[in-house]
Amino acid sequence: MNHKGGVRIGGLAGIWTIQSRVADDASIMFHLKRGTIYVDGRIRHTEPQSTLRVAGGTGRFADATGRAVFKYVSDTTAQVTFTIAS
C-alpha cells in the first residue's frame, strides 16, 4: 500500500465478496505504522466512489469510527480516504 507519490506506508488484507456486476461487499484491514484500521461495506462499481464504515482497529485506531471513501483510479488501482473519529 503506497501513499500518494509512491511512498510505502503499510499493507492491506481483506475479503472481497462478489455480489453482482454492480456491487461487491468488502471487509478490509489496513495495516499502518500506528495500528490497523478495519473497514467494511459495499463497493458500488456504477458509482464514482463508495463510502464504507470504519469499524475499529488496533493500536492508535482501537476505538476508531468513521468512514472510508473508496474510489477506483484505474482498473487495477484504488484510492481510499479515511475520516476517523476516536
Residue range 48-66: mean pLDDT, rounded: 95
Q: Which amino acid belongs to residue 75?
A: D
Given a cut of 70, whether residue 3 has pLDDT beyond it is no
Alpha helices in the chain (DSSP H): none
Candidates 49, 40, 45; CA nearest to 20 is 45
Residue 79 and residue 73: Cα distance in Å, rounded?
Answer: 6
Whether the model pTM is above 0.85:
no
In whole numbers, what is the pLDDT of the chain averaged over residues?
91
Domain boundaries, the chain: 2-85
CATH number of the domain at 2-85, please? 2.40.480.10
pLDDT band at 22 (very low <50, low <70, confident <90, very high): very high
Q: Could you tell me the CA-to-CA distances from 84 to 20, 21, 53 in Å, in that order?
A: 29, 30, 10
pLDDT of 55: 94
Residue range 52-76: mean pLDDT, rounded: 93
